[in-house]
A and B are shown apart, each in its own frame.
Chain A
């Protein structure tokens, strides 16, 4: 039965891609954008760009107002409490690097950092490199067959030497939600700071950060139907106070002399240089758009599409699905067929999916694979998109086998 997306027409690029015979199923890499965002960008650039937190002039005041409104919108969207706890960065990777450098002073040789075995490189490498700089131990929390963090093992491995826990909310390869509640409570009880990588999770369930109870939460705008070049770092006030200034210049400065300077506190103190002003304003427009949707309807649409995707793959011969994906995406390999060959024949037929290691090489190695195909969904996808994917897959496999 046809499963339409009531929001498809809100995203003009979907129709444009369709005219180019392209079916977009790579939203976990980046998403298409709603018209509301395009309008906001055109309005900002068309009505007078200005830098923020600098000039007294009217365009500067308007830009600053719009920019700060978005900080408040984000705080509300994430139920983060005060807007002072929201820091804008240039992306999720940049937010995680900010943390790995800004928190470095709090680590001593022999301390431990715990990360899960399924982390995206962006939430692994900043910690790995911090561990190497400071002589720390990087502890890898194992995952089970389903692709869930093994909670019993994690409870054993996170102990009094653990200074920080960094873990994804939703795996970008396995599509599994991680058991954050007990994990974060345990980390807190051990006195460890916690960092949640919400880059995928934030797209598929609106977070409640006050309830989640992490110290830091990181997300990227471009995966959440917003512009690229914008990341968001939420930090609980007390935790944010530990983060030292990392990059210098711009309006993060309080007073500067030739030989010394003083700096503002977060959030502005952590936003060196000109921030991505248009991007932040665009993200604000996206949040307004998303807030206007029926969240339950979106969730059940995505759940139905995900069930179709997973079911369709499982009923085909020789296909191995990675883990037990719960939402948003499914990764798979085909027995005896190289993933690059599948990617090739899907590309030839206008199916845009991702092939390879998905920026999680250690996880793929752990699974004994050198790559996989990932199909990922956005709220604009419909069941025809999936049908086109399955037809192309069947035709491609027939050729390759």
Chain B
């Protein structure tokens, strides 16, 4: 399965990044590309629990796929959420079911961010996404 265009571009940029500072800068830039959430979307029903930071995940059904929106108050986490969304946005249900997100973050050199420890929200976001789209 080929990568969505934006995902392929992100992968290139992260592959070229040297050191943690450059990766952090890239994450912050990615975070700025997230589609903003309305106040009405920042509600309990969309809140992802199991993160110490506040994280929202909005899952909207479209004709043949899900449309995702995500947000957080933490900037670097917003970047991780953006990297997640570029990988899954617009995929059909069948394609989404096939995606190995752990492998995706590993390719980006960010596998450590998937730790199930509570301090990082990404693990909980992935669980929430797979529940919401199951």
- Give me the interface of A with B, judged by CB distance under 8 Å: 338, 340-341, 343-345, 348-349, 355-357, 370-371, 395, 399-400
A-contact 0/1 string along B19-35, CB 8 Å cutoff: 01101110010000000
Known: A338-B53, A340-B119, A356-B52. 4 other contacts (CB 8 A): A340-B52, A345-B20, A356-B119, A357-B52
* A340:B53 contact, CB within 8 angstroms: yes
Binds A, one of B7-15, B59-67, B70-78: B70-78
Interface size of B by CB at 8 A reads 18
* Docked complex Cα distance between A340 and B72 (Å): 10
Q: Using known A-B contacts A348-B20, A348-B24, A356-B52, determine if residue A341 contacts B76 with beta carbons closer than 8 Å.
A: yes
Residues of A within 8 A of B119 (CB): 340, 343, 355-356
Q: What are the residues of chain A within 8 A of B91 when measuring CB–CB?
A: none
Asked if residues B52 and A399 are in contact (CB atoms below 8 Å), the reply is no
Contacts of A400 in B (CB 8 A): 28, 75
On whether the beta carbons of A340 and B118 are closer than 8 Å, the reply is: no
User: How near does chain A come to B52, taking the closest CB pair, in angstroms?
Assistant: 4
For the complex, give the distance between the alpha carbons of A357 and B53 in Å.
10
A6 to B2, CA, bound (A): 58
* In the bound complex, CA of A345 to CA of B75 (Å): 11
In terms of DSSP, what is the predominant structure of the interface of chain A? helix
What residues of chain A lie closer than 8 Å to B121, measured between beta carbons? 340
A341 touches B74 (CB 8 A): yes
**Contact status B24-A370, CB under 8 Å:** no
* B24 with A345: CB separation less than 8 A: yes
Q: Which residues of A contact B101 (CB under 8 A)?
A: none
Residues of B near A356 (CB, < 8 A) are 52, 118-119
Decide if B25 touches A338 in the complex (CB within 8 Å): no
With A357-B52, A371-B52: A399-B21 Cβ-Cβ less than 8 Å: yes
Which partner residue on chain A sits nearest B55 by CB separation?
A340
The interface residues of chain A lying within 8 Å CB-to-CB of B108 are: none
Q: Is the CB of B20 within 8 A of A349?
A: yes
Chain B: CB-nearest residue to A395 = B21
In the bound complex, what is the Cα–Cα distance between A399 and B28 (angstroms)? Answer: 10
From B28, B53, B75, B76, contact of A371 by CB (8 A): B53
A-B pairs with beta carbons under 8 Å apart, 24 shown: A338-B53, A338-B74, A340-B72, A340-B73, A340-B76, A340-B119, A340-B121, A341-B74, A341-B77, A344-B24, A344-B76, A345-B76, A348-B23, A348-B24, A349-B20, A355-B52, A356-B119, A357-B52, A370-B53, A371-B53, A395-B21, A399-B21, A400-B28, A400-B75
- Nearest to B25 among chain A residues (CB) is A399
Complexed CA–CA distance, A355 and B118 (Å): 10
Which of A341, A349, A357 is the most central at the interface, judged by chain B CB atoms within 10 Å of its CB?
A341
- Assembled-state Cα–Cα distance A345/B20 (Å): 8
Q: Is B124 an interface residue (CB 8 A)?
A: no
Determine if B126 is an interface residue (Cβ-Cβ < 8 Å): no
Residues of A within 8 A of B25 (CB): 399
Closest to B74 in A: A340
Q: In the complex, what distance in Å separates the CA atom of A355 from the CA atom of B117?
A: 12
Indicate if B54 sits at the interface (CB-CB under 8 A): yes
Distance A356 CA – B119 CA, assembled complex (angstroms): 7
User: What are the 8 A-B residue pairs with the smallest beta carbon separation, nearest first?
Assistant: A340-B74, A356-B52, A348-B20, A340-B53, A338-B74, A344-B76, A341-B76, A341-B75
- A343 and B112 alpha carbons, distance in the complex (Å): 14
- Give chain B nearest CB distance to A293 CB in angstroms: 33
Contact B24 A399 (CB under 8 A): yes
B79 smallest CB distance to A (angstroms):
10
With A and B bound together, what is the CA distance between A53 and B61 in angstroms? 63
Chain A residues near B75 (CB, 8 Å)?
338, 341, 400
Give chain B nearest CB distance to A173 CB in angstroms: 14
